[in-house]
Amino acid sequence: MRSCPILLCYLSFIRDLFQGGLNCQLLKLRSTEIQKLNMIGSFMQLHTLNLDFCSSLTSLEKDCFTCMPKLMRLSMCGTRIADLWTTREALSRLHSLTELRFQNCICCKDTGPCLASSNGADSPASVGKLFINQDSLNDSENRVSNHFEGILSSDPSFVATSGRADFQLEVSFGDLHVDGRDECPEYINLKLRDTSVVSKMHLTCHPSPICYEKHYREYLIASLPHLRVLDNFPVKKLDREMANTVFSQYYEYLPYKRRQKENVASVLHMRETGRGNAYHNKSSRIKEAVSCRKSPHFYSRSLCAAKLGSSASPSLHTMSNISNNIKEGSESLRPRQFEYHPTNPSLMAFGTLDGEVVVVNHDAGNIFSYIPLFGVTNSILGLCWLNKNPSKLLAGSDNGSLRLYDINDTLQKAKGSCSSSSPVVFDKFEHLTSLHVNSTDDQFLTSGYSKKVAIYDICSGKRLHLFSDMHQEPINVAKFAHHSPNLLVTSSFDRDVKLWDLRQTPNQPCYTTSSSRGNVMVCFSPDDLYLLVSSVDNEVKQLLSVDGRLQTDFGIASTGSTHNYTRSYYMNGRDYVISGSSDESIVRICCAQTGRRLRDYYLEDRTWESPILVQSLRSDPFRHFHMAVLASYVRPSSKRDIIKVNLLETGQYGDEDSKREDFSSSYVHGG
């Protein structure tokens, strides 16, 4: 297929323009071919930039506006920009920016404040008045209702943020005449039950996806102190005060409540001299120094905050290239489940859809042990390392087979890769989906698409107990506590989470707590103080493990999908929580204690411009702010891969250097 000469000429012109610059004050670009805003040329006089309807533009990179220091007005309506965090990083470098649009008022053509909003409406948060052209008063209500229904049905990201069930619209009409605006004789008073969506719905059109993020307006106002107009609404003093309050309530600017960015070198210097943070006032330095000596984690957390603050987009590395030489022909391994090694920071095990178990050195990029499938192909759905004997790995497949492998007991194959010797085989557990070993390595439990839980003795290989009807629906996940070998928790699609003690006859749980949707998984915090419960469609809560009381509701917006299976895990010990869902391409990071959002990271297949769905994820137990994501590519086929994400190191997406790292076709973007 030949490329169109006109298109190539046009792309060449855009590239030359971005690289060479232009001595102009106003620039309006509208192109569906602009995917990356790499304007590195000189735009020293530019004060107005209009990128409306550049529909292929999905994110703003950290330094994309550094070449235009005088830019005051920026409009990006109808683009695909979705991420608050990368957008904040890019726009924060525009110190002259006063007017910004990601959606436009229905009666405004430029970025300035709407005349209607300046006549009697102090703030968009006050619900306000919407002026539109109508042929008659009788059909006004239907037209407005249809307008908003169209937005709800055509843009799933709005439903993903607010939820259709929580949206309620009331339209009332009255006679109002505005001087100089005879064409708009009616006003529409819109009342929304969810006040967080007022500013994004009641006066705007052509919204970019970022407009549907919860607290979008407050987030940008709090992040951009020089902003005077947002989406044609003036930013008043009351708006800024409210935005700062909302930001502090729902977001973390930097990890561990750091309020200002710091240099890594200065943090290291303070660690050597024993001083606290430089931005603390003199009266608090003595107290800060004392607290530093009391907290062994103070400087490590400070370093993480400094590195995360300087990293606009994380680096990532796919693991598909590690396993290319295992299978013959063009076949590649298809991971289905994975777990980090409990004591060796370099090792990771993953099971495949074809029944193989592979142990890789993910730091060196090579295979440590390869365990081929035995007999009929079955997906590996359960993996668990033993705690006191971490060279042993327990694996369970969807046909119920259970095997214990010793990864050090390997035989060299002719090709130079490693194959495990004969494993220990246990009695089958039908419809298996989950398995877990207790803290003393003497027992493990299994659960699955049934109401049963089985307990096995690891030494003898015998099944000790088979408990029936522990729930009303299938038990998706069952987990032992980290420090008590007799405590376990179960979660089920019947919406219940139950804690059990094997020292008592498990006819009755210690307690039962319920979610509003079916539970996908549950896990203990590393110190067993909390339970992290993940239910269908982004319902994530933290409970006190002692009695099941709610400690934190993370308030992640639902999408309305009953097949959006959410999984969440602890990161950095139990400081943070990472969460991802099977129908979404977002990894969310929240403070475990306050529920405040630290960052969102979006995964996207750049080649096909399609999302990469998050099937599962794990945090690295040895490295702060490192994780791995089990990703499913939507196009061109249902390819699966494990993507390692380092949040503390900036990735170079789209550069030629990234290709040698084997992630040129996918990237993560976040704050």
Express each pLDDT in 46-70 by its tens digit: 999 999 999 989 888 888 999 999 9
pLDDT of residue 137: 39
Whether residue 188 has pLDDT greater than 60 = no
Q: Residues 77, 206: contact at Cβ < 8 Å?
A: yes
Average pLDDT (157-185) is 39
Q: Residues 671, 367: contact at Cβ < 8 Å?
A: no
Q: Residues 599, 589: contact at Cβ < 8 Å?
A: yes
Whether residue 182 has pLDDT greater than 50 = no
Is the entire prediction scored with pTM above 0.75? yes
Neighbouring CB atoms inside 10 A of 413's CB total 11
Average pLDDT (213-221) is 95
Cβ contacts of residue 315 below 8 Å, gap of 6+?
Answer: 645, 646, 649, 650, 651, 652
Q: Residues 370, 355: contact at Cβ < 8 Å?
A: no
pLDDT of residue 543: 98
Q: From residue 307, how far is each of 296, 353, 600 by CA, in Å? A: 19, 37, 17
d(C-alpha 647, C-alpha 663), whole Å: 16
**What are the tens digits of pLDDT across the range 103-112?**
998 888 899 9
Rg (Cα) of the chain, in Å, rounded? Answer: 27
Confidence of residue 581 (pLDDT cuts 50, 70, 90): very high
Report the candidate in 304, 139, 303, 126 with the shortest Cα–Cα distance to residue 203: 126
pLDDT of residue 94: 94
Q: Residues 300, 307: contact at Cβ < 8 Å?
A: no
Three-state SS annotation for 177-211? CCCCCCCCCEEEEEEECCHHHHHHHCCEECCCHHH
Bridge partners, residue 483, by sequence: none
d(C-alpha 424, C-alpha 407), whole Å: 12
Whether residue 630 has pLDDT greater than 50 = yes
d(C-alpha 374, C-alpha 298), whole Å: 49
**What are the tens digits of pLDDT across the range 38-47?**
888 899 999 9
Mean pLDDT over the full length of the chain: 81
Q: Residues 541, 553: contact at Cβ < 8 Å?
A: yes
For the ranges 62-76, 183-197, 442-456, 528-542, which has the lowest average pLDDT? Answer: 183-197
Helix axes 298-309, 282-294, angle to 10 degrees: 110
For the ranges 159-168, 206-215, 614-623, 642-651, which has the lowest average pLDDT? Answer: 159-168
Q: Where in 326-481 does DSSP place strands (E)? A: 335-340, 347-352, 357-361, 366-371, 380-385, 392-397, 402-406, 410-412, 418-420, 424-426, 432-437, 443-448, 453-457, 463-467, 475-480
Whether residue 10 has pLDDT greater than 80 = no
Whether residue 447 has pLDDT greater than 90 = yes
Whether residue 207 has pLDDT greater than 80 = yes
d(C-alpha 193, C-alpha 166), whole Å: 7
**What are the tens digits of pLDDT across the range 364-420?**
989 999 988 766 678 999 999 999 999 999 999 999 999 999 998 754 443 444 444
What percentage of the chain reaches a pLDDT higher than 70? 75
Confidence of residue 192 (pLDDT cuts 50, 70, 90): very low
For the ranges 17-26, 117-126, 245-254, which has the lowest average pLDDT? Answer: 117-126
pLDDT of residue 319: 86
Phi, psi of 146 (to 5 degrees): -65, -35
d(C-alpha 27, C-alpha 48), whole Å: 6
**What are the tens digits of pLDDT across the range 277-316?**
544 444 444 454 445 445 668 888 989 999 998 887 888 8
d(C-alpha 580, C-alpha 618), whole Å: 10
Q: Where are the alpha helices (DSSP H) in 324-467?
A: none
pLDDT of residue 372: 83
Whether residue 363 has pLDDT greater than 70 = yes
Cβ contacts of residue 331 below 8 Å, gap of 6+?
Answer: none
pLDDT of residue 386: 97
d(C-alpha 152, C-alpha 164), whole Å: 8
Whether residue 226 has pLDDT greater than 80 = yes
d(C-alpha 164, C-alpha 171), whole Å: 17
For the ranges 132-146, 557-571, 586-600, which has the lowest average pLDDT? Answer: 132-146
CA 106 vs. chain centroid, Å, equals 32
The residue type found at 31 is: S
What pairing do the DSSP bridges indicate for beta strands 335-340 and 314-318?
unpaired
Whether residue 631 has pLDDT greater than 90 = yes
What percentage of the chain reaches a pLDDT higher than 90? 55
- Angle CA 382–383–388, to nearest 5: 140
Whether residue 197 has pLDDT greater than 60 = no
d(C-alpha 439, C-alpha 615), whole Å: 27
pLDDT of residue 412: 43
pLDDT of residue 219: 97
Report the candidate in 430, 420, 468, 426 with the shortest Cα–Cα distance to residue 443: 426
Measured between its terminal Cα atoms, the distance across the chain in Å is 38
Q: From residue 483, how far is each of 182, 440, 451, 592 by CA, in Å? A: 73, 9, 26, 20
Strands ordered across the beta sheet of 380-385: 380-385, 392-397, 402-406, 424-426
Whether residue 178 has pLDDT greater than 90 = no
